Every structure is written in structure tokens, then in C-alpha cells.
Amino acid sequence: MKDVIAKVRMSQQLQLVVDVNYGVKNYIRVKEMINIFSQGDLVLVGVFLMMTIIFSIQILEFLV
């Protein structure tokens, strides 16, 4: 659940940056920001995936 919240926050921040730069017709900066946020999202998902894999037994014990 925390990964979903983190992704939503990242999307909100991306929207602000893209809106401002798109408004001033700075399309190169928009493409750069989308790439940077996509890479950050990939890292974030990777971290949460690794935590889920490493602590899978503890997570399942918590849920049961």
C-alpha cells in the first residue's frame, strides 16, 4: 500500500513540473522530466519489490 501512496505522490509532483514547463512551451524539459520521474519510479518499485521478496515470510505471518 505504501508503494501506491509513494507513486501517487510522485505522479502529483510530475504533474506540477510538466504543467509549468508545458505552459511555457519548454517541451524538451517536459521530456526530460518524464524520463527522470520514470527512472525514479522504477527505482522506487524495485526497492518495494526487494523488500517484499526479502521479508515475504514476515509479511505473510503478519497477515495470518
HSE value, Cβ hemisphere, 13 Å, CA-based, for 35: 6
Give dist(CA 26, CA 37) in Å, integer.
17
Give dist(CA 63, CA 46) in Å, integer.
22
**pTM for the full predicted model:** 0.71
Ranges of residues in the chain with a pLDDT under 50 are none
Q: What is the pLDDT of residue 2?
A: 67
**Which domain covers residue 38, as residue numbers?**
2-63
Assigned C-alpha cell, 56: 515475504
Number of structural domains (the chain) is: 1
Residue 31: φ, ψ to 5°: -65, -40
Q: What is the pLDDT of residue 59?
A: 87
